[in-house]
């Protein structure tokens, strides 16, 4: 039985359509990864040393601090909010831990608990004011940014506080496990936990519902206020963990640490494709966003680009990456 030319044409069109749908789906899911690979390839071609295993490990290590904060703050952005206070929380949490260790270097666990407790208090205050008083997140967290920084300066001054011991505390940011810097494992563990929370819990589904339509979420009986409070608590705890990791890594703590880190955190989240209006994004994409920013920073340094030119180049690359990512996302959804 012969197939008509029309039948052959229809079959060809159908196959082409299936392949196009598959391509769009793959690009929609892996577009950011493609961009990261392209950036890596470009730097590797310009300077082959960029592609070395040690340098790739350094990139992941460099991304861990921003990555820890970004995956925790992603929940805030998914609700349509923003947390600008994270950089100050980094400073005060590390400083609090250092001051406890200054009083008694054997207080390893209490120092970590104290640092996290301070960051948790900041998150609870931010979340309560935003969720229950209805003030805009950008105003509340901007105020917290300056208040917390001022509080850090009050309790620690502008001097560096040295952390010489215990060795277990210094291991958090400076130790190695299985040949890799320990902060990479902290970053990976927090990312996996947050991804599980986002994808497999009722809390995570409620976060998306709030971002998509907060009014509808309220009418559906979802605990909107409680969830909004909790996302700011999670964001601050992430910054608190990052502050302890940073203090351990550099063996010092200061009220001035973390300046402008909130910009890199927001950049990592946005580059990852999370919408600032809420309701669209993912923790794993924020991980890729943090890696992309770390790769750009590393590549520009290897190319010996001056600091002022690095800032310009970094900004332009981020804009191009976001634009390309948005275009790929829209093209995949056609």
Tokens at 128, concatenated: 């309560």
In this predicted structure, the answer to whether residue 303 has a pLDDT above a threshold of 90 is no
Residue with tokens 């749908």: 21
By mean pLDDT, which of 136-140, 146-150, 308-312, 322-326 is the weakest?
322-326
Domain presence at residue 333? no
Tokens at 224, concatenated: 């909107």
Residue with tokens 């790769």: 295
What is the per-residue DSSP string for 241-306?
Answer: HHHHHHHHHHTEE-TTTTTTHHHHHHHHHHHTT--TTSS---HHHHHHHHHHHHHHHHHHHHTT--
Q: What is the pLDDT of residue 14?
A: 54
Domain presence at residue 295? yes
Cβ–Cβ < 8 Å for 123, 237: yes
DSSP assigned state of 3: P
Residue 223, number of CB atoms within 10 A of its CB = 15
Q: What is the pLDDT of residue 48?
A: 86
Q: How many structural domains are present in the chain?
A: 1
* Single pTM value for the model: 0.86
Domain presence at residue 118? yes
Tokens at 96, concatenated: 């609090």
**Banded model confidence at residue 307, pLDDT cuts 50, 70, 90:** confident
Short-list 221, 234, 241, 296, CA closest to 264: 296
Domain presence at residue 24? no
Q: What is the pLDDT of residue 1?
A: 47
Domain presence at residue 76? yes
For residue 190, the domain's CATH number is: 1.10.3470
Domain presence at residue 1? no
Domain that holds residue 165: 52-326
| pLDDT tens digits for range 1-40 | 455 555 554 545 555 565 656 556 655 566 677 778 888 8
In a 3-state reduction of DSSP, which class is residue 213?
A: coil
| pLDDT tens digits for range 31-40 | 677 778 888 8
Put residue 304 in one of left, alpha, beta given phi > 0 → left and psi -120 to 50 → alpha: left
Tokens at 272, concatenated: 């990852």
Short-list 271, 325, 330, CA closest to 297: 271
């Amino acid at each position: 039985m012969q197939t008509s030319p029309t039948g052959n044409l229809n079959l060809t069109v159908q196959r082409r359509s299936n392949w196009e749908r598959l391509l769009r789906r793959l690009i929609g899911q892996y577009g950011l990864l493609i961009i990261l690979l392209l950036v890596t390839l470009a730097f590797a071609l310009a300077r082959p040393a960029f592609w070395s295993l040690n340098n790739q490990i350094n990139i992941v290590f460099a991304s861990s601090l921003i990555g820890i904060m970004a995956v925790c703050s992603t929940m805030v952005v998914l609700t349509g909010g923003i947390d600008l206070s994270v950089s100050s929380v980094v400073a005060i949490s590390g400083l609090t831990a250092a001051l406890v260790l200054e009083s008694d270097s054997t207080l390893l666990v209490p120092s970590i608990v104290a640092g996290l407790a301070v960051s948790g208090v900041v998150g609870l205050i931010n979340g309560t004011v935003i969720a229950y008083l209805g003030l805009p997140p950008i105003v509340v967290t901007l105020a917290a940014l300056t208040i917390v920084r001022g509080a850090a300066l009050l309790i620690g001054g502008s001097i560096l506080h040295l952390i010489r011991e215990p060795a277990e505390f210094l291991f958090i940011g400076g130790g190695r496990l299985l040949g890799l810097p320990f902060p990479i494992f902290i970053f990976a563990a927090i990312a996996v936990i947050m991804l599980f929370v986002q994808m497999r819990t009722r809390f995570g589904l409620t976060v998306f519902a709030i971002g998509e339509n907060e009014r509808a979420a309220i009418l559906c009986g979802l605990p909107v206020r409680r969830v909004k409070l909790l996302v700011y608590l999670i964001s601050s705890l992430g910054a608190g963990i990052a502050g302890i990791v940073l203090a351990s890594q550099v063996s010092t703590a200061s009220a001035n640490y973390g300046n402008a880190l909130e910009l890199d955190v927001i950049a990592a989240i946005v580059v990852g494709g999370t919408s600032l209006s809420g309701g669209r994004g993912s923790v794993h994409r924020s991980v890729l966003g943090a890696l992309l920013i770390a790769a750009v920073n590393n590549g520009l340094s290897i190319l010996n680009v001056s600091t002022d030119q690095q800032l310009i180049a970094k900004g332009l690359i981020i804009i191009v990456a976001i634009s390309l990512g948005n275009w790929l996302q829209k093209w995949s959804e056609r």
